[in-house]
Amino acid sequence: MTGMQGLTGGRELVMVSNRLPVDRVVASDGSSTWRTSPGGLVTAVEPIVEQLGCVWVGWAGNADERIEPFELGQMRLEPVELSSDDVELYYEGFSNGTLWPLYHDVIARPAFHRQWWDRYRRVNQRFAERVAETAAEGAIAWIHDYQLQLVPEMLRKLRPDLTIGFFLHIPFPPRGIFEQLPWRRAIINGLLGADVIGFQRVPDAISFRTIAERYTHTQALGNTLVLPATDDSPGRTVLAQEFPISIDAAAFAEVARRPETQARAREIREELGNPKRMMLGVDRLDYTKGIRHRLKAFEELLTDDEIDASDIVLVQVASPSRERVDAYRKLRDEVEVTVGRINGEHGTIGHAPLVYLHRGYTREEMVALYLAADVLVVTPLRDGMNLVAKEYVACREDEQGVLVLSEFAGAADELNDALLVNPHDIEGLKAALLRAVHMPQEEQRRRMRQMRRAVHDNDVAHWANGFLGSVASVSESRGASHASGLEEGKTGPISIVPQAFVPRSVGDRLRRIATASSLLVATDFDGTIAPIVRRPQDARILPRARQALEILATAPGVRVALLTGRSLDGLAQTGTGTSGEGWIISGSHGSELTGFDVSGVMAASGFGEPTADEAEWLHRVNRRFERVLGGEPGVRLERKPFGIAVHTREVHDEEQSRELQAAAVELGLAEGLHVREGKQVREFSVRASNKGAVLQSIRDALPVGPVLFLGDDVTDEDAFSVLGPDDLGIKVGPGESAATERVPDPAAVAAVLARLVELRTGIVIGSD
């Protein structure tokens, strides 16, 4: 896997998970070694950090063990100590006795204990504090999995400078199940502390957004949740969407290609007595994995003589997991009794049809097992993704082998050329196993080829790219304050998928207008390409949006126009619209215009200086507003070439802000001014110009072609309303609109513009 550098834009990456990627193993003589931790989380995340480097905060796997931070490869590990009570109440209790079964379709019964919850909160707080102490200024904190769902909110309070991503490796349950949790609201609020929340599958993300809307004051807009401002925090958005996880497919293929691995695969088959067919199961010994269902189907096939015990072997690798949790202990007993029964009934002195291995293996041995197996049987009753299925496919460069896969594993979304089964349907499972055993080589090849393509197209680099790319966009939209390590406009070796933020319908419409011989790209400034900030002079265009507009402005047949309510001077204060950008810029809601041969436009819209009458009128208006509203705390009056704007963004009391706006409108109407409503601003003008009129005039003076217009505010509606069916209007954020498409925020606008650049010019703009 290559090309991950650049993903974090030079910021430090802090990984946070319950377990560190390595467990400390203490031998009987007291010496200790480090061993890769169990589970899919580490399999997926480890290759990313090998490339990117990171600080990793987590537990080293034993109770009551204090370990100093240490370096391992590209990582600095920061071990968090867990006492034996923490292990019992937080890890075995709330994490694996409450959340794990609840999130996996209540296959086992979740237990709800207040003491467990209390410890879960305390341990989450400890993780948050540890990250807060450790992370560098402006770092990206990437928190993993169900054990740490409160950490995002806790960490945001401690370190608001960090950008926070959260990824849930297991399913997120449907509302009807999640609602059983007594602490449901706290969990949702905990997660909403993140800027980006990633899930494995589309239904997981939908369920989360629905529940968040029900239990908090958020509003879902596509994949984005909009959080309103409160007394302690400004409003913000949270991206909550699916990012299906994957594996380092090339690394597995490389091990599979080694002659020694292939020799080992042959040896395994010899050790098994060269059966005609070898089936394989590989799982943590977990009740979600459907091992009992698998064994039942296998046993019935033997009993019914559907398969011959001397021809076929099922190797079941079941790695030890959570052995002190009741449901796991019970499962182990049941599985081991079943294995004994099957071999007792169907084995011979020299041959056992079922080989059961309760231990961990090296990567090399796992790959040899995959190569040796004719059929891999993956039958979870519910599974976030299931990486074992993807590993098998990645290893089979020979395009042979059959995957039997549960519909209830996330992997089924991508690997739909597997033999998909409902593991609860034992008859269906038996039929699929038989079909797999007898599948002709040509069919195996066709199916495996398709699945290999899916795994290679979405490998772990693609996953990390999508997730971190979205996190980086958030960091970027927060403005330049934390971007010390950022080089503007630099494109990394892997482009950061701008698609992450472009809704499909917008993508389709962009594709339609992108190739027009003449194209006008027009956009509002504040709240559209520059995030809203408290003081207007502090607003800055997003670097990615600027880069995209600059490229478009020089592309043949494209004109770029900025239509703002600001005066041209007010815009220049932000560092945009100064000079030399080649953009058409209209200020003061269409009353000012620059960067364009205005002759034709002027006649239609009447630009230029205020007339003598207008100037006198303005003078009177300014004095009046100054006298009536100038002394009100929090009110800011902004003089404009053709009018005045009354800003109430800094009035703290909402009710008071509304009253002041109403007072301003009264005053303006009494003066005979044209009034416009904006977000916490009322604008008054001596001229009746608006963005719609100026947009129409500009397009009329250009060759015929479609117009793209992007805007967020009420005053942008004038521009949306002059668009025709072949144009594209995109509203930014919530609120009624005449626009036909919508995106959540300025970062998404930057992604839309970047996509347009890519479609028009082939140039890919990363977000770092």
By the criterion CB under 6 A, which residues form the site for ligand ADP?
A: 39-40, 43, 282, 284, 317, 319, 360-361, 366, 385-388, 391
CB of 277 to ligand ADP, least distance (A): 22
674-678 and 312-319 beta bridge pairing: unpaired
- Which amino acid does the sequence have at 295? L
The question of whether 169 is a catalytic residue gets the answer yes
Decide whether 283 or 476 has the Cβ nearer to ligand G6P: 283
What string marks each residue from 9 to 48 as x (binds ligand G6P by CB under 6 A) or -? ----------x------------------xxxx-------
Q: Name which of 325 and 719 has its Cβ closer to ligand G6P.
A: 325
Task: Calculate ∠ Cα 462-466-469, nearest 5°.
Answer: 125
Residue 19: name its binding partner from ligand ADP, ligand G6P, none (Cβ under 5 to 8 Å by kind). ligand G6P
Identify the active-site residue in 383, 524, 716, 768. 383
Binder of ligand G6P out of 78, 145, 153, 195 (CB under 6 A): 145
Minimum CB distance to ligand ADP smaller for 364 or for 569: 364
Residue among 162, 119, 134 nearest 75 (CA): 134
Q: Which of 219, 262, 321, 740 touches ligand G6P by CB under 6 A?
A: 321
Tell which one of 130, 159, 169, 346 touches ligand G6P (CB under 6 A).
Answer: 169
HSE (side-chain half, CA atoms, 13 Å) at 197: 34
Interface with ligand G6P includes 347 (CB under 6 A)? no
Amino acid code (one letter) for 699:
R
Residue 366 binds which one of ligand G6P, ligand ADP, none, with CB within 5 to 8 A depending on kind?
Answer: ligand ADP
Least Å distance, CB 5 to ligand ADP, is 24
Angle between helices 387-395 and 363-372 (to 10 degrees): 70
DSSP string, 617-629: HHHHHHHHHHHHH
Instruction: Work out how close the CB of 329 gets to ligand ADP at its nearest, in angstroms, rounded to a whole number.
Output: 18
Q: Which does residue 388 bind out of ligand ADP, ligand G6P, none, counting CB within 5 to 8 angstroms by kind? A: ligand ADP
Residues in region 249-278 near ligand G6P by CB under 6 A: none
**Judged by CB, which is closer to ligand G6P: 120, or 709?**
120
Separation CA 322–CA 370 (nearest Å) = 25
- Amino acid in position 713: D
Say how far apart CA 766 and CA 613 lie, in whole Å. Answer: 51
Q: Which is nearer to ligand ADP, 162 or 318 (CB)?
A: 318
* Least distance to ligand ADP, CB of residue 23, Å: 13
Minimum distance, C-beta of residue 164 to ligand ADP, in the bound complex (Å) = 23
Under the binding rule (CB under 6 A), the answer on residue 92 touching ligand G6P is no
Q: Residue 160 burial (CB < 10 Å; 0-12/13-18/19+)?
A: exposed
Instruction: Give me the residue whose beta carbon is nearest to ligand ADP.
Output: 40
**Cβ atoms within 10 Å, residue 504:** 9
Provide the token pair at 751.
């992604």
Q: How far apart are CA 530 and CA 523, in angstroms?
A: 11
- For β-strands 196-199 and 163-167, DSSP reports them as parallel
Please say whether the beta carbons of 312 and 398 come within 8 A: no
Partner from ligand ADP, ligand G6P, none contacting 145, C-beta within 5 to 8 A by type: ligand G6P
Bridge-based pairing of strands 402-406 and 375-378 is parallel
Measured from the CB atom, the residue of 43 and 574 that comes closer to ligand ADP is 43
Contact 247, 455 (CB under 8 A): yes
Residue nearest to ligand G6P (CB): 39
Segment (H or E) for 667: helix 654-670
- What is the C-alpha to C-alpha distance for residues 666 and 670, in angstroms, rounded to an integer? 6
Q: Residue 530 has what DSSP assignment?
A: B
Which of 86, 104, 145, 169 is catalytic? The answer is 169
In terms of CB distance, is 204 or 718 closer to ligand G6P? 204
317 binds, among ligand G6P, ligand ADP, none (CB under 5 to 8 A by kind): ligand ADP
CB 50 within 8 A of CB 91: no
Q: Enter the tokens of residue 137.
A: 């200024």
- CA 615, CA 159: separation in Å to the nearest integer? 50
What phi and psi values does residue 661 have, to the nearest 5 degrees? -65, -45
Applying the rule CB under 6 A, the residues between 424 and 483 that interact with ligand G6P are none
Choose between 315 and 710: whose C-beta lies nearer to ligand ADP.
315
CB 205, min distance to ligand G6P, A? 17
Q: By CB under 6 A, name the binding residues for ligand G6P.
A: 19, 38-41, 145, 169-170, 321-322
Cite the active site residues.
169, 383
